[in-house]
A and B are shown apart, each in its own frame.
Chain A
């Protein structure tokens, strides 16, 4: 693996950084007061600026630079403000439309490339998200399509999205005809479909109205909006897992690394400026120790993330690597946000300063893209397989089996 970013990847960081310096950083004061207008503006601006297009091949209207550029872009956005990364939902929209093809791609793809359309997965229910076979939402076959009923919760920024990819039960996991995961099907649901609505916005550690709950009340979805159409019935887990891995987990790594990077930059700058005992606190070894630990975390977390993203850019499945990266990135972000708060002393917890916000937002990413526990299972499964070779670095889950065996 080459241990350097390509010139185009380096340049995409500079472009993302300049975007943040123009649109986000000067408006941090508004963000600190939960001013909705800022989010409403930003919701479309990022995708209209094309910040979601790095994962889209050039022949389809994207930059084609790849997943590393995507992670870098989101890292810069979240270093500027820890949860202002709407590019993610443009990426989801592209990923869904690309995988579905047919009527779904026809309807959404032009708008997705222009940056007008956002989407999000809808998996987690009030009863939980990790145990997918325990999902309660149901889909019933009717003439020409399916009727969905259920609730999906904790979807970030769902109220800004134009459509969702929702996982519903089309069979009974205990029925031999639809065993286990064969009971699950993924559907594309447009926000204009009758019976679909955003039922509530949750106030979170991050900000007010951050997470969304969707209600599906007898929502009719035509057959050609079933992911994979007829062949996709009972094969919903594959596309959902791929999306949660490739887009969800990778972009969450970007967000977490953004918190780590933002904490690092803020702390380093402050340590050089703040004087105590007549000299900058950066000369105190206790502060230096914290800066050193933050540097190690930033470097390690980026390395894991970029490697997983690099594998995906090469077209290699990297479920275990993505899981490893996210598992590490979330701990690194929490640690670094804490260092940042502590280096700032009393100012660290005051709402008017950034350490407060990095610290508050880091836990917002614990569940998204897989909990630490479920990711640990994936990582352990990959490591403990009979043909796993501990002398080599981790192999992709495709070789390791498990989710990789589920096709589209």
Chain B
């Protein structure tokens, strides 16, 4: 039996990679300077939305996206509407600010609980900027449901059970689980669509719900800066300096010199 599913997709705003040449780090706060850089949906979250839309197209149901961030995050929710999601929620409040992955997951889980009646929670395996890969499992723990990470294929969803393939080093695992479940997806799972032209209407005629910390049932100690057990003590730009060196002589001589130097630097084993 194929039952319609209620799917919630967590999406993260990240700086648009088209403008990465303008990104820099603030040496004092250790935070990325993002002024003037447009935001987009983190790429793997696009895969999560795509998978949700495909499941809805096959089985019916509803797709709701949720994100946390400052008010301008509605831009990526508009883009989600353009892609064809049914509903969009933004958690936006100063109380959510300064969150690490755990506090973010707590906030998202409270939003998902308020959306209610969910069968499947999807999100990208990791974000483009932070790349911790922690939020998926943490959201699942806050919701008290199982999770699978590295999902590269959903084999089937039947009678409240599903089977997925999870990517691991040198292969994959096949995992069967019940619903509800959280799946963190990889880029292999699908090829995300370009929004259809009608997306221009959906994006501009639908409006995301905006919830503050008061609108959701959440322990204040678990969100924002207070709910964040980790902090970033140091970040640094890694600058790779090239060492220009000119070798001279006949080709055979140059080759011999090059081999010697590579051995001396430990790049090649000793002869």
Q: Chain A residues in contact with chain B, CB under 8 A? A: 6-9, 11-12, 14-15, 18-19, 22-23, 49-51, 53-54, 58, 63, 65, 69, 73
Q: Are B204 and A7 in contact (CB-based, < 8 A)? A: yes
Residues of A within 8 A of B199 (CB): 11, 15
- When the two chains form their complex, are residues B200 and A22 in contact, meaning their CB atoms are under 8 A apart? no
Task: Assess whether B204 is in contact with A15, with CB atoms less than 8 Å apart.
Answer: no
Closest chain A CB from B129 CB (angstroms): 20
Within 8 A of A (CB), among B166-201: 194-201
Pairs A–B under 8 Å by Cβ, sample size 29: A6-B204, A7-B203, A8-B200, A9-B200, A11-B82, A11-B199, A11-B204, A12-B197, A12-B200, A14-B79, A15-B82, A15-B194, A15-B195, A15-B197, A18-B194, A19-B194, A22-B194, A49-B197, A50-B197, A50-B198, A53-B197, A53-B198, A58-B201, A63-B198, A63-B200, A63-B201, A65-B200, A65-B201, A73-B197
A69: chain B residues at CB < 8 Å are 200
B residues in contact with A11, CB < 8 Å: 78, 82, 199-200, 203-204
* CA A20 to CA B199, docked complex, whole Å: 16
* A141 to B: closest C-beta gap in Å: 42
Instruction: Give the residues in chain A near B196, CB-CB below 8 Å.
Output: 15, 49-50
Q: How far is the CA of A19 from the CA of B199 in the complex (A)?
A: 12
Chain B residues near A22 (CB-CB < 8 A): 194
The complex places the Cα of A23 from the Cα of B199 at a distance, in Å, of: 18
Q: Which residues of A contact B198 (CB under 8 A)?
A: 50, 53, 63
The smallest C-beta distance from B124 to any residue of chain A, in angstroms, reads: 18
Question: Separation in Å of the B75 CB from the closest CB of chain A?
Answer: 10
Query: Which 6 pairs show the lowest CB-CB distances between chains A and B?
Result: A11-B200, A50-B197, A7-B204, A12-B200, A8-B204, A8-B200
A234 to B120, CA, bound (A): 64
**Are A54 and B197 in contact, CB atoms less than 8 angstroms apart?**
yes
Report the minimum CB–CB distance from A108 to chain B (whole Å). 20
Q: 15 new A-B pairs (CB below 8 Å) besides A7-B203, A18-B195, A63-B197?
A: A11-B82, A14-B79, A14-B82, A15-B197, A15-B199, A18-B194, A49-B196, A50-B198, A58-B201, A63-B198, A63-B200, A63-B201, A65-B200, A65-B201, A69-B200
